Structures are given as C-alpha cells and as structure tokens.
Structure 1
Amino acid sequence: MADPQQENKLENFAWLRAAVLGANDGIVSTSSLILGVAASHAQHSSILISGIAGAVSGALSMAVGEYVSVQSQADSEAAALKSEHAKIRANPKDEHQELADIYIQRGIESGLAAQVARQLMEHDALGAHARDELGITGTFSAKPLLAASSSLASFAAGASVPLLEALLVPEDALLPVVAVGSLILLMILGAAAARTGGANVLRGSLRVGLWSSIAMGISAGVGVLLGGLA
C-alpha cells in the first residue's frame, strides 16, 4: 500500500523536475531566438521585440499544451473511476477478491490480504481500488490548471534571463553574453536536477550544456545565413 511520505517526496520531485524543464525550455528557446535574430544583424529593438514575442508565445504554448495534456489525463482518470465505481456496486465480492489478489501479489499472506481488502473497502472502496488497482491517488491525480500555470511560470522565469541580458548588454557584446550567460545558468539547472534525482551531477550538467549549445549554435547559424541573404 502507498506510503504518504514517499508519495510526498515523489510529488515534490515531479514538480521540481517539471519546473526545471520549463525553465530550461524558456532559456533555450528564447536565447536561441535572440541569438538567431542578433546574428542576422537586426536592430537592437527588433531583437528585443522578437525575444519578448517568443517568450510570451512560448509560455502560452507551454501552458496550453500542458493543460490539454493533463486535462486528457484527468478525463481518463474520471472515466476509469466511474467504471470502477460501477463494478464495485455490481460485484462487491469480485472486487474484494481482486483487491486481495493485488495485496497477495505484493507479498501479503492471503488471509491477511483478504482482511485488509475487506477493511479498506468498508472504509472507502472506490479509494482503495483507485489507489491500489488504478494507481490514482490524491497526490498524483491530474490537476490541469495547476500544471498549466506552473509550466507558464517556469517558462517565463527561464525566458526572462536572456531577455534581461539582451536588454542590458550593449549590442556589440550581445551574442557572447547571451550565449555564455544562458549556458552557465542551464548547466547549473542541469546539475541541480541531476542532484535532486540522485544522478551524476557533472554528467547532467554537461549534457544540458552540450545540447543547449548545439541548439543555440544552429539558431545563430540560421540567423547568419538569412541575414546574408536579406
């Protein structure tokens, strides 16, 4: 059966991971856009306008995509709970045995498993089946609005870094400052995410740095190419 403390740890890790990923997306996409536009020799005002537009559209896109995805999950969970509730009302004995079998498979002795299943079903039959058969708990149930707002906020927070760099840094130093500054922050976030997940910190940091630098380099290259053709 579920351990509340373990569930809380997993929930915190899941939300931290989502926040880090959202911030990473905001930094990579916005800095890549700024670098691409700057490399095309666009005016500083055009660079800022492009960066702000990219940050806003990216944050909204993240929020909408996350909402739709998690709402679909919520709809699936609601349908599964409705179906399970109908089964419990129609065949309580079969559902009791099904729950007991789950506990037996987890290593509980059959007599004790039957007793536990009976007591849990007397207390909250649907809750017991939702948790132990369907894997749906209050901690991990889908929360579309929370997921959407968290994605929007984390993306916007990440995107604000290259935007501030582009706003405050002189035009002739914009490319190196945005590239290096964004990469340093991305590697710090990669290290933090790896440390939280118990992975190798150096490897996690270098992985994020490598792929982010490739994305920025390609974007800058496209900007140079298009700027030369203009």
Structure 2
Amino acid sequence: MTVRIGVVTFPGSLDDRDAQRAIRVAGAEPVALWHGSHDLEGVDALVLPGGFSYGDYLRAGAIAALSPIMAEVKDAAAAGMPVLGICNGFQMLVEAHLLPGGLIRNDNQHFVRRDQRLIVENADTAWTSGFTAGQEIIIPLKNADGGYIANDETLDRIEGEGQVAFRYLGVNPNGSLRDIAGITNERGNVVGLMPHPEHAVEAGFGPNTPAAMRSGVDGLNFFTSAIAAVARAAA
C-alpha cells in the first residue's frame, strides 16, 4: 500500500515543503493540505510543520490551533491517526490541548539555530519506533519560543507515564524544563518536538555528525516509523 501523509500549510508556515520532501524520501506520498479546509483528503498520517504561523501573534501556535482544519486534526488524533508536530506544529498541538504543557520564549531571549544532540526516551510511539530507547541522535534545531513548560504535577505525570519522547543532550538550548525536547500523548500516536527531523533525511544535506559534515539522517526514522505504524494498523 502507498501511505499518504498530509502536511498542513498555515499562513506563515516555512517548512511545509521540507516536510513534504522528507515524506517522499521516506517512501510515502506527501499530500498538501490547507489550514482553511475541513478535508483531510483521506490521508493516513499528518504533519503540522514548522514556521511562524500568523506571525506568532498572541502566542506561538495559538491562532493556528483555531484554524478550521484543526477540528479534523483533533478528530483524527482521537481516532488513532499518527500526528507529528514539528516546532511551530508542536506549539499548535499544545495550544490545541492535544499534548500537555506549553512553550514559551527561549530563556536566553535569542533565536537558536544549532545541530542538536537528543536522547530518545520513548521508542514506542508511531513516530519513534525506528529508534531504540536511550539512542543518541542529532537533529537540527531552530526556534525562538522553544522553552517547554508545565506545572510540577504535569511534569511528574508525563515522566511517570513515559510521555517524554526526547530530551536535549549536552546543551539545553532554550531552557525547557527537565531538558524536554519532545513529548507524546498517552496513546503514542501524537508526538511533538522542537527540533526539525525533516532537515535530517538525506546525506549531504543534514546536520554535521562526528562521522562527517552534513551526514546526519536521523530524522528519516521519524517518517519511516510512521509509515510502518500505518502499515501495522492496516494489516
């Protein structure tokens, strides 16, 4: 079967085409979706891409979370469809209450761009099954509002229930509490993270690694994991 993964474009999206390309490189069919539509066009999975939707007015992702298509995204997530929110997409997921917590301005008050080391905490989600727990990966990071926050009760709960998907390793670039770089919902089909896996899918164009410059392809596993998850669900 050909897995079809939708990428939703919002006003101010920057990385929607990159996400579409990553999906294609992974072996699935990317489907361009518009934020003002109520039609998911029969896709098998969804990506909310990075960028600065609506100029990040109010709070990053807050207005986009109210876009018409988000009603369908919520219904699809509740039905078990794999949904990935990348950077601004992660911000949308927390604003839409599909993931707990929130994201605020980086504690250093600067936009950060770096090849970021992460540790995989949860390898049992629809978007991380291609990894192993404890694996170290390198994924590009670029954000201004990437500080993950939640109250202590929520932090303790997501820690205890295995909902922390990724942590920053070596450097915490934005002041995220408990070094959290990405989380998942309880079911494991919705994942949000600040780093950009779509920028690490092809050798020669990815992040620098100890092996060679621009050789990093750790981001590819996100998309192949989702393809495998859809195939398992259809079997």
TM-score of the superposed pair, with normalisation by structure 1: 0.25
Please, what TM-score do these two structures have when normalized by structure 2? 0.25
Q: Which has the higher contact order (CA 8 A, sep 6+)?
A: 1
Q: Determine which structure has the larger strand proportion and give its number.
A: 2
Larger % of helix: which? Answer: 1
